[in-house]
Amino acid sequence: MDALQNILNRVSARALIEPHPTESEMNKVFKAALRAPDHAWLRPSSFIQVTGNGIDKLSKIFEEYAKTVPNIKDEIISKYKNAPYRAPMVVILVNSVKEHPKVPEIEQKLSTAASAQNILLSLNALGYSAIWRTGKLAFNPFVASKLNLKANQEILGYIYVGTADGTNKKIPELDIEDFVSYL
């Protein structure tokens, strides 16, 4: 697919079903993720790929977290518990912050955000679909500890991956003049 066309036609899908990408396809996707700009090559981004039993494990972690929230409603516990089943694959975006005299924490997180976009674009190029989600389950120390992350590591988000169920939503036409100025 033409590279620019791939960017222009990428769209997020809320409903994702099988098939999900194969291991060799995901290897390409993660290679692309690791080509995100990365000041001083600190390698702040890593990924946890979740499928099959892993989805059940993630669901249990989300449920355990929900039960730590005071006065949480049963429907919210169910919502968190069911969240990982919204796609056949989830990629957890992990950021590891390193001390560096020239590269502040925000730049390291921006690099992981760029890696997430590379993941979305690579999946689109391979004919799959995805949606990047955060919510209460991202930036969440309880979930991070259950995934054995270290003190300098944080979950920046979740990319839900699969094949779009149904037709894609229409891409809005935006007027470039509303977003760009010239000096």
> Which stretches of the chain bind ligand FMN, using CB under 6 A?
11-12, 131-135, 157
Q: How far is the CB of 138 from ligand FMN (least distance, A)?
A: 7
Of 26 and 130, CB closest to ligand FMN: 130
Terminal Cα-to-Cα distance of the chain (whole angstroms): 34
CB of 169 to ligand FMN, least distance (A): 7
Separation of alpha carbons 45 and 171, rounded Å: 29
Rounded to a whole number of angstroms, the minimum distance from the CB of residue 103 to ligand FMN is 20
Q: Is 172 exposed, middle or buried (0-12, 13-18, 19+ CB in 10 A)?
A: exposed
Nearer to ligand FMN (CB atom), residue 22 or residue 134? 134
- Amino acid in the structure at residue 87: A
Q: Give the nearest distance from C-beta 135 to ligand FMN in angstroms.
A: 4
Q: Of 75 and 99, which CB lies nearer to ligand FMN in the complex structure?
A: 75
**Minimum CB distance to ligand FMN smaller for 40 or for 72:** 72
Find the radius of gyration of the CA atoms of the chain.
18
Question: Phi first, then psi: what are they for 23, rounded to 5°?
Answer: -60, -45
- Rounded to a whole number of angstroms, the minimum distance from the CB of residue 132 to ligand FMN is 4
Nearer to ligand FMN, 22 or 127 (CB): 127
How far apart, in Å, are the Cα atoms of 84 and each of 9, 92, 134, 158, 170? 26, 11, 12, 9, 25
Q: Tell me how far apart the alpha carbons of residues 23 and 62 are, in angstroms, rounded to a whole number.
A: 25
